[in-house]
Amino acid sequence: PLSSPWIPGRLKFMPGNLLDTQTASQRSFGIDYDKNYFLKDGKPFRYISGSIHYSRVPRYYWKDRLLKMKMAGLDAIQTYVPWNYHEFKPGLANEIGLLVILRAGPYICAEWDMGGLPAWLLERESIILRSSDLDYLAAVERWMGVLLPKMKPYLYQNGGPVIMVQVENEYGSYFACDYDYLRYLQKLFHHHLGDEVVLFTTDGASKHYLRCGALQGLYATVDFAPAAFLTQRGSEPRGPLVNSEFYTGWLDHWGHPHSVVPTNTIAKTLDEILSRGANVNMYMFIGGTNFAYWNGANMPYASQPTSYDYDAPLSEAGDLTDKYFALREVIGRYNHLPEDPIPPTTPKYAYGRVTMEKLGTVAELLGDLSPSGPIRSIYPLTFVQLQQYFGFVLYRTTFPKNCSEPTPLFSPLNGVHDRAYVSVDGVPQGILERGKSNMINITGKAGANLDMLVENMGRVNYGRYNNDFKGLVSNLSLGQVTLIDWEIYPLDIDSVVGHGLNSKGGESKTSGGNPSRYAAPAFYTGRFSIPSGIPDLPQDTYIKFPGWTKGQIWINGFNLGRYWPVRGPQVTLFVPSNILVSSSPNNITVLELEQSPCGIQKCAIEFVDKPDINATLFPGRAQLFCFWYHLCSFHVRVILLTLRGCF
Ligand SMILES: *[C@@H]1O[C@H](CO)[C@@H](O)[C@H](O)[C@H]1NC(C)=O
Ligand SMILES: *[C@@H]1O[C@H](CO)[C@@H](O)[C@H](O)[C@H]1NC(C)=O
Ligand SMILES: *[C@@H]1O[C@H](CO)[C@@H](O)[C@H](O)[C@H]1NC(C)=O
Ligand SMILES: *[C@@H]1O[C@H](CO)[C@@H](O)[C@H](O)[C@H]1NC(C)=O
Ligand SMILES: *[C@@H]1O[C@H](CO)[C@@H](O)[C@H](O)[C@H]1NC(C)=O
C-alpha cells in the first residue's frame, strides 16, 4: 500500500469562511429516542435528502446540480466518499444551504470500482477486506486519519453542513460479519470526529442483514420501501425512522435492458414514507457518469456502463425530468418549496460528424504506450502485481510449437479478467471474455507473436468477490501446453493520450480467419472546432459511434469512458461542455478494440443533441430481466423485478 496513488495534496476544500462559526456553539444535532425524531438545534427535525456522487458529476456542474436539488425542496444531500478517488469538497453544499449526510466508507458499494476500496489493498493476495485483517485496518486507519480530521470542521455542531456520518455500508450483506471491525470503525470515527457526532449504518431491510450490519451505538437505518420500517424497529425500537436508500430508479449492466422505474410508483411511495414522518434519502437524485474506468461490476461478472443515469429525477446530464417535477410536488406537501427559479436544463448542441483517422495499432504504438517497456515473467502477472490498477495491459508470448491446425487457446480457470483481444503476429484472432468465452481456436508457427491486450472492465463492487484481480489471473493453455515466458507491457494510455499520441503510419493487417469481424485494437484521432457566431457555445453534447464496436474515448485528454454500442443499452456518451474549448480545435482520441468502420471510406463519430442509453438490442427479454445478481441489496431486486412484471 505504500506505493499507493494516494496524494494528499489532491484533496481540495472550500475555505473556512463558509462555516457558520458565530453560531457554532448553539448548533447541535442528535437523536431523540423518546419522541422518535432527530433533534436539530434542540428542535424536532426530519430530513428529505437526495444522493449525488461528486465523483460522477464534473466539478464545473456541482453548483447547478445542487441548486436543482435545493429547488426540489430537499433539506439534505447524501454523498459517498470513494476512498479510491481521493477528492472531496463539502463546502459547496453549505453555501447553498443543504445539509450533508456523509457516507464516509471505507467501503461504499455504489456501482463504483471495487466498491471504493483501492486495488492496491490486494497486494497481499489473501487480505480479507472489510474485516479485522491487520493489513486492511492499517490502511483504513491511515486513510481515515487523513479524511476524518478534514471533515471534522464541517460537522453540523462545528458550523458545517454534515449532520450524520455513515460507518461502512450494508455490512450485514457481507460474509465476514465481524463485529470487532465495526467496533473498531466506531472507535476510529469517534476518535477523529468527537463523541457528539451521529454515526449510522445502513442495511438491507431484513433481520438477517441487520444482524451483522448493526451495532449498539451506531444508529441503524434501512434501505427500501415503507414496510421496511418494521424491520428497522427490530434493531432500533426507538428513534427516527430512516430509509437511507429509497431507489428512484435502478442501475444498468452492459448487455441488459436499460432500467426504468415509473414515476407514479416512486411518487406514491415517497408520499407514503413522508406521511409517516420518516426521514428519507432518494438514491439517486442524480446518478451522473462513470467517467474513465470508474464503473464497478456484479457477479456473475457483468460490468456497469459509463452512464449512471439511474432513471433518477435529474438525468445524467442534470436535466429536469417529469420525475423531478412529480417528486417536487410530493415534497411540496411536506416541505416549504424555495421560491427561487429552478436552474433550467442545460442546452445540448449537435456538433455533427467528425472524421477519424487511424494512428496505428496498439502493437505498432507500443514504444509510446509503454515507456517503461515489458516486464518478463515465466507466468502471467496481475495488474496489481504490475502496480497498474486500471485500463489495459498487453501480454505477449510466442507460440511454443507449430500449430497449423486450429488449436484451442483457453483459460481453464476462467482467468481472463475481463476481456482479452487476441492477435497472432498482428493479425486479430478473436476475444476471450470472463464468464462468457474461455476458448478460441488459433493457428500460428512456432515463434509467432501471440498478443493479448487485456482490458480491466471494472472491479466487482459487491460481496465476497470484491477481491477482484485483473489481467491474466491464471495460466493459459495452447492445446496441451501451458503458455510461459511472457513479456508484459503495462500501458500508460491516459498520460500518453494527454500528451498527444502520434501516428505510426503503415497499413495494419486485418484478420486472417474472419476478416469482417475483428481488427487489431487501434487508436484513431480526429478534431473538431466549436462553431463561431453562435451564442453560449460550447454546450453539452453526446457522442454516437456509427459502425464502431467497443472501446474507450478521450476528448482533449479527458477520459470520457467506455463505449459499446453493439452491446448496449448505452449507445451515446455524455460530453460535459467544460471539457470542450472554443479557442482551438478539440482533439478526439479513440481506442477501438474490435472493429472500426474505417476502411476504404471515411469514418466518423458524431456529436448529437439527444442521449440514447435505452437501446433495445436484446432478445429473450424476460430471461434477462430475471437475472439473479448479487446486487447491493436483495430487496430492491424483488421490488424492481416486480415492477417490471418479472414474476
Ligand atoms: C515448424 O514448421 C516449419 C515448417 O513450416 C519447420 O521448418 C519448423 O522446423 C517447425 N518447427 C517446429 C518447432 O516444429
Ligand atoms: C475449435 O476447433 C475444433 C476442431 O479443431 C472444433 O471442434 C471446435 O468447435 C472449435 N472451437 C471453437 C470455439 O471454434
Ligand atoms: C501457473 O502455473 C504454475 C505452475 O503450475 C504455477 O506455479 C503458477 O502459480 C501459475 N500461475 C498463475 C498466474 O496461475
Ligand atoms: C490538440 O492537440 C494539439 C497537437 O497535439 C495540441 O497542440 C493542442 O493543444 C491540443 N488541443 C487541446 C484543446 O488540448
Ligand atoms: C426506454 O424505452 C422504453 C421502451 O421503449 C420506454 O418505455 C422508456 O420510456 C424509455 N426510457 C427512457 C429513459 O428513454
Is residue 646 over pLDDT 90?
A: no
Q: Which pLDDT value is given to residue 640? A: 40
Across residues 334-347, what is the average pLDDT? 95
Residue 301: CA atoms inside 13 Å, Cβ hemisphere, count? Answer: 22
pLDDT at 21 over 80: no
**Ligand 1 pocket mutation, candidates 399, 407, 445, criterion most atoms within 8 A of CB:** 445
Residue nearest to atom 10 of ligand 3 (CA): 475
pLDDT tens digits along 123-145 = 999 999 999 999 999 999 999 99
**Of the candidates 28, 36, 91, the residue with the CA atom closest to the CA atom of residue 59:** 91
Answer yes or no: is pLDDT of 177 > 60: yes
Whether 87 shows a pLDDT value over 80: the answer reads no
The answer to whether 104 and 151 have CB atoms below 8 angstroms apart is: yes
User: pLDDT by residue (tens digit) across 371-402?
Assistant: 999 999 999 999 999 999 999 999 999 999 99
318, 289 in Cβ contact below 8 A?
Answer: no
pLDDT category of residue 222 using cuts at 50, 70 and 90: confident
Q: What gap in Å lies between CA 563 and CA 565, rounded to an integer?
A: 6
Q: Which helix (H) or strand (E) holds 392?
A: strand 392-398
Name the pairing type of β-strands 481-482 and 477-478: antiparallel
* 194 phi/psi in degrees, rounded to 5: 95, 170
Query: Are the C-beta atoms of residues 173 and 201 closer than 8 Å to each other?
Result: no
Q: Is 245 a catalytic residue?
A: yes
| Residue 17 confidence (pLDDT) above 50 | no
Q: How many residues does the chain have?
A: 647
The whole-angstrom separation of Cα 239 and Cα 263 is 30
402 lines ligand 1 (CB under 6 A): yes
Using CB atoms within 10 Å of the CB of residue 64, give its burial: 0 to 12 exposed, 13 to 18 middle, 19+ buried. middle
pLDDT, position 618: 60
Average pLDDT over residues 617-629: 43
5 band by pLDDT with thresholds 50, 70 and 90: very low
Of 7 and 327, which is predicted with more confidence? 327
The Å distance, Cα 587 to ligand 4 centre, comes to 6
Q: Please work out whether the CB of residue 481 comes within 6 Å of at least one atom of ligand 1.
A: no
pLDDT tens per residue, range 460-483 = 999 889 999 999 999 999 999 999
| Residue 454 clears pLDDT 60, i.e. is over it | yes
**In the prediction, which pLDDT does 485 show?**
98
Q: Is the pLDDT of residue 606 over 60?
A: yes
Alpha carbon nearest to ligand 3 atom 3, residue: 379
477 lines ligand 3 (CB under 6 A): no
Cell triple for 571: 449507445
Specify the pLDDT at position 193.
97
Pairing of strands 551-555, 558-563: antiparallel
Asked whether 260 lines ligand 5 (CB < 6 A), one says yes
pLDDT value of position 49: 97
Q: Are 309 and 247 in contact (CB under 8 A)?
A: no
CA atoms within 13 A on the CB side of 207: 2
In angstroms, rounded to a whole number, what is the distance separating the alpha carbons of residues 36 and 237? 9
pLDDT above 80 for 625: no
The predicted model gives 241-255 an average pLDDT of 94
Q: Report whether residue 380 contacts ligand 3, using a CB cutoff of 6 Å.
A: yes
Evaluate if residue 503 carries a pLDDT over 80: no
Confidence check: pLDDT of 599 > 50: yes
CA dihedral 386, 390, 391, 397 (to 10 degrees): 20
Cβ atoms 35, 57 nearer than 8 A? no
DSSP one-letter string for 342-391: PPPPPPB---EEEEEEEEEETTTTHHHH-TT--EEESS--BHHHHT--SS
Ligand 2: centre distance to CA 411 (Å): 15
CB 433 within 8 A of CB 419: yes
Digit-coded pLDDT (tens) for 553-595: 999 999 999 999 999 999 999 999 999 999 999 999 999 999 9
- pLDDT at position 190 is 97
Q: How far is the C-alpha of 66 from the C-alpha of 647, rounded, in Å?
A: 38
Least trusted range by pLDDT, from 13-22, 121-130, 222-231, 608-617? 13-22
Average pLDDT value for residue range 39-67: 96
> What is residue 430's predicted lDDT score, i.e. its pLDDT?
95
Please answer whether residues 312 and 248 qualify as being in contact, where contact means their C-beta atoms are separated by less than 8 angstroms.
yes
Q: What is the mean pLDDT of the chain?
A: 88
Q: What is the pLDDT of residues 611-620, one digit of tens each?
A: 999 997 765 4
Looking at the predicted structure, is the pLDDT value of residue 645 above 80?
Answer: no
pTM for this prediction: 0.90
Cβ–ligand 1 distance for 445 under 6 Å, the answer yes
* Beta-strand pair 302-303/471-472: unpaired
Give CA–CA dist 560/330, Å, rounded.
Answer: 35
Distance CA 504, CA 512 (A): 22
Is residue 433 predicted with pLDDT exceeding 50?
yes
Instruction: Name the more confident of 417 and 640.
Output: 417
In this prediction, residue 92 carries a pLDDT of: 55
Distance 592 CA to ligand 4 centre (A): 21
Q: What does the pLDDT read at residue 84?
A: 85
Candidate list 111, 168, 236, 245, residue with the active-site label: 245
Q: Which of 111, 168, 170, 592 is catalytic?
A: 170
For the ranges 92-96, 101-105, 251-255, the lowest mean pLDDT is seen at 92-96
Concerning whether 364 is annotated as a catalytic residue, the answer is no
354, 494, 584: which to mutate for ligand 4, most atoms within 8 A of CB? 584
Phi, psi for 310 (deg, rounded to 5): 70, 5
